[in-house]
Structure 1
Amino acid sequence: MGHKVVVFDISVVRALWETRVKKHKAWQKKEEERLEKSALEKIKEEWDFVAECRRKGVPQAQYCKNGFVDTNTRVLDKIERTSVARQSSRVKDRDKRSNPFVFELSGAQWKELPDWLKEQTHLKEWHVHSTLIQIIPTYIELFQAMRILHLPKNQITCLPAEIGHLKNLKELNVSFNHLRSIPPELGDCGNLERFDCSGNLDLMELPFELSNLKQVTFVDISANKFSSVPVCVLRMCRLQWLDISSNNLSDLPQDIDRLEELQSFLLYKNKLTYLPQAMLNLKKLTLLVVSGDHLVELPTALCDASTPLKFISLVDNPIDKTQCEDNDETIESEQDRQHFDKEFMKAYIEDLKERVVPSYPLS
């Protein structure tokens, strides 16, 4: 009996293998696409997109749908085109919804105050910070109900004289701007209680007319270029807090005891070599912060443990101003350093309230 020979059509075999090869290549392509769109890649893509949205000030609600990030770049482009225009109406609507008497504004996209603000003369508070606004318009005099004017960390170069028309103003904060002078008309704001013009760096004096501010209890003129305590400050008879740190003081006036109500006195980072005996007459003084490197003489009674005074002597360490030359590293500005110092000292003083601080007389 002979062997059976199975005969194959070569064309059939070829077609079979070509089909298998095509399926394998299709599977490989699909797998590559799957890897390209894997969870890690998608997470990275979403993080990059979210970072871009935050950089452009896009609210999270605009790029999230049902809890998931929508990375459609067309959505981002659309939002970016309309975000600045809509920001004004959002701020206005939010103020009306939360408190119809409070105006809030922040963000580097703002270079001037919105036009509609001049119509809101009923407002009692302005909170404008971290913008590129340089000018406070003269129409501010129309806001006769103004109680609080907070304008920190902007680019303001001067205050209008019309600010003196705000007879009900109680708090003025123009810290960390670019002011070189304060208008004397501010002395007409007889109800002012808190005044902060710290961190302007080049401010050298305050007008004598501020002597009329008899209700002031808080003054912060730190991080400027004062060479002495302004005369007008010495005439603020109700002053309880005075921060004149980080200036160019070489001595204190002999009549510093005019400030009979003074409770907190911050003097660190100056060029003081001694503290006058008149300091002993400040009977309500409970906190004194000075820098120790230049001090060679001070009333020993200031360190007496029987007094309520918490005397703090700081040793100044020279700031290392050498900066990394790497172009990718941002050089810290003087204002940023001063702001950090103030925040640190604020936290330190808050901590003092919870504990007893020992006195260490200078050797």
Structure 2
Amino acid sequence: MPWCCCCCQPQVWNVKAFKYSSWMGHMSWAGQSPASILKLSRVTEGRESPRDQEGQEDQEDLKNQENQVRTSATGRDLSRFAALRGAGPADWQRRPASGHVTWLSCDIIMVGVVSSIRGLWESRIKRVQEEEQEEEQRRSSRRSGASARLSVGVWEDRAVLARLRQKLLTEEGRLVLQIQQEDWKVLPDCLVQLSQVQEWHIHRTGLLKIPHFISSFQNLLVLDLSRNAISEIPKQIGSLVRLRELLLSYNRLQCVPEDLSGCESLERLELARNQDLDQLPDQLRSLRKLQHLDLSMNRFSRVPEVLLELPALEWLDLGGNQVVELPENIHRMEKVHTLWLQRNQLQTLPGGLSRMSRLDTLVLSSNQLRDINPMMEDMVNLRFVNFRDNPLTLDITLEVRRRKRSSQEEQEEQEEDGDREMFGRDFMLMYIREARKRAHAALNIHRVNQANQE
């Protein structure tokens, strides 16, 4: 079916064909191809229109259409039209007044424009189809690459998981993951598939952080990650409500998060030798079951107030810090039986220390103590105390009684025990009595001097 040049619809061509058929002997041009129309036009060349007035009107109408076509046609179509009008055969150069050649020229222009538009759209359609094919190939390539990477990742996870399964042990009915002295700076995500593990023991692996998926291990009872390079405790740790032991000594922790208070079953917490640790959040008072706390070798300058509010606390190590004084109400730690305060900056001991009725082990070596509080004489449950390496005012030497041993090892062990006794409970009691005796003597001398002066 013929097409027009402007709106890509067949109406214009059919109207013209109908006009041709009406005054050219009622010949049916509608639906004819451009070649057929050209042939018929040549046959009828030279005839006069039976109706000149109608022919003139048609000629004017077609001239207007021809001008429109000239305006919208491409350079190639205009060139083709010029060739047909001026450079063609002699019979094409004649232009009778009837307007037949004008009609033929317009038809030729229409054919050229239609051919040009058709070629243009065909090229565009072809280009779009090629682009779609290229895009589909790229998508297929990407899908293939992603599928390949996914396959590689799956196989790698399987290999790592198989390696982790080899680290699983069973101790006292508990499933334990134990890794030591291997390179595991980051724990893989596939470890989540072993969420039934109840204990982690991962030491000296260079581990940099506790993974956030730790919250998936709701059966975890013991988390021992000591001697690594961990710098932060994630907030997800607070979701481990069944956790009993958290051991993070010898790492690089700078603070303890408030979220740790969510571990309501925690009984043992070890944070020794993290160097930059100097305070604890008050929220830890909710750890009502905490019994064992190791804060040694950090930067605490005082005893954290929250420690006085832990009702179950029994064992506390604050050695190797920078503590200058102890709180007067230290006796509020009623259940504490072992207290390590060695290598601090203590100069005096508060009277409240003597009111810790359950205290049986007290280590005060390597401080700046000048005297021993005489109230400590009433600490009947205190079995071991150490005052070694303190600048005490009185020089007391305690004779050590040694028993004979049958072997050299037993002899050395006995000597070590005797060395501790030199600054132990007996030493403390003798020091207090000697200090009291000297105090009384000094008081008597003072009274005598007063009497002589009177």
Q: TM-score, normalised by structure 1?
A: 0.62
The letter of the residue matching 1:251 is E
The one of 386, 403, 407 aligned to 1:312: 386
CA distance in 1: counterparts of 2:299 and 2:211, whole angstroms: 27
CA distance in 1: counterparts of 2:371 and 2:223, whole angstroms: 41
1:302 matched to 2:376? The reply is: yes
The one of 167, 173, 192 aligned to 2:266: 192
CA positional deviation for 1:286: 0.1
Deviations 1:156-194 (A, max 9, x none): 000100000000010000000000001110011111000
Deviations 1:112-133 (A, max 9, x none): 1133212111111111111111
| Residue pairs, 1:22-41, within 5 angstroms | none
The match for 1:89 is: 162
The aligned length equals 245
Structure 2 CA distance for partners of 1:190 and 1:108, relative to 1, 3 Å: same
CA distance in 2: counterparts of 1:143 and 1:161, whole angstroms: 14
Q: Contact conserved, 1:312 with 1:359, CA < 8 A, in 2?
A: no
CA distance in 1: counterparts of 2:339 and 2:235, whole angstroms: 30
Q: Secondary structure at the residue paired with 2:259?
A: helix
CA distance in 2: counterparts of 1:282 and 1:91, whole angstroms: 47
The letter of the residue matching 1:283 is S
Q: Secondary structure at the residue paired with 2:166?
A: helix
Structure 2 CA distance for partners of 1:162 and 1:174, relative to 1, 3 Å: same
| Residue pairs, 1:229-244, within 5 angstroms | 229-244=303-318
The match for 1:267 is: 341
The letter of the residue matching 1:95 is L
Q: Secondary structure at the residue paired with 1:158?
A: coil
Q: Contact conserved, 1:303 with 1:360, CA < 8 A, in 2?
A: no
CA positional deviation for 1:282: 0.5
Q: Which moved more, 1:256-265 or 1:293-302?
A: 293-302
Q: Contact conserved, 1:268 with 1:314, CA < 8 A, in 2?
A: no
Structure 2 CA distance for partners of 1:358 and 1:234, relative to 1, 3 Å: closer
The letter of the residue matching 1:282 is M
CA distance in 2: counterparts of 1:92 and 1:250, whole angstroms: 49
CA distance in 2: counterparts of 1:292 and 1:298, whole angstroms: 14
The letter of the residue matching 1:233 is L
1:110 matched to 2:177? The reply is: no
The match for 1:8 is: none
The one of 171, 174, 191 aligned to 2:248: 174
CA distance in 2: counterparts of 1:359 and 1:242, whole angstroms: 24
Whichever structure has more helix as a proportion of its residues is 2
CA positional deviation for 1:196: 0.3
Deviations 1:220-261 (A, max 9, x none): 000000011112211111111000000010001111111000
CA RMSD, aligned part only? 2.7
Structure 2's unaligned 5+ residue stretches are 1-157, 392-412, 436-454
CA distance in 1: counterparts of 2:165 and 2:181, whole angstroms: 15
Structure 2 CA distance for partners of 1:360 and 1:86, relative to 1, 3 Å: farther
CA distance in 2: counterparts of 1:209 and 1:271, whole angstroms: 27
CA distance in 2: counterparts of 1:213 and 1:204, whole angstroms: 19
Deviations 1:195-224 (A, max 9, x none): 000010110111111111010110000000
Q: Secondary structure at the residue paired with 2:426?
A: coil
Structure 2 CA distance for partners of 1:306 and 1:257, relative to 1, 3 Å: closer
CA distance in 1: counterparts of 2:292 and 2:174, whole angstroms: 28
Structure 2 CA distance for partners of 1:131 and 1:300, relative to 1, 3 Å: same
Higher RCO (CA 8 Å, separation ≥ 6 residues)? 1
The match for 1:279 is: 353
The match for 2:28 is: none
CA distance in 1: counterparts of 2:227 and 2:390, whole angstroms: 26
CA positional deviation for 1:91: 4.0
Q: Which moved more, 1:290-299 or 1:277-286?
A: 290-299
Q: Secondary structure at the residue paired with 2:186?
A: coil
Q: Secondary structure at the residue paired with 1:105?
A: strand
The letter of the residue matching 1:256 is I
Q: Contact conserved, 2:218 with 2:241, CA < 8 A, in 1?
A: yes
Q: TM-score, normalised by structure 2?
A: 0.50
Structure 2 CA distance for partners of 1:305 and 1:184, relative to 1, 3 Å: closer
CA positional deviation for 1:305: 8.4
Deviations 1:35-59 (A, max 9, x none): xxxxxxxxxxxxxxxxxxxxxxxxx
The match for 1:359 is: 426
Larger Rg: 2
Structure 1's unaligned 5+ residue stretches are 1-84, 318-347
CA positional deviation for 1:293: 4.5
Q: Secondary structure at the residue paired with 1:156?
A: coil
Q: Contact conserved, 1:237 with 1:260, CA < 8 A, in 2?
A: yes
CA distance in 1: counterparts of 2:264 and 2:253, whole angstroms: 22
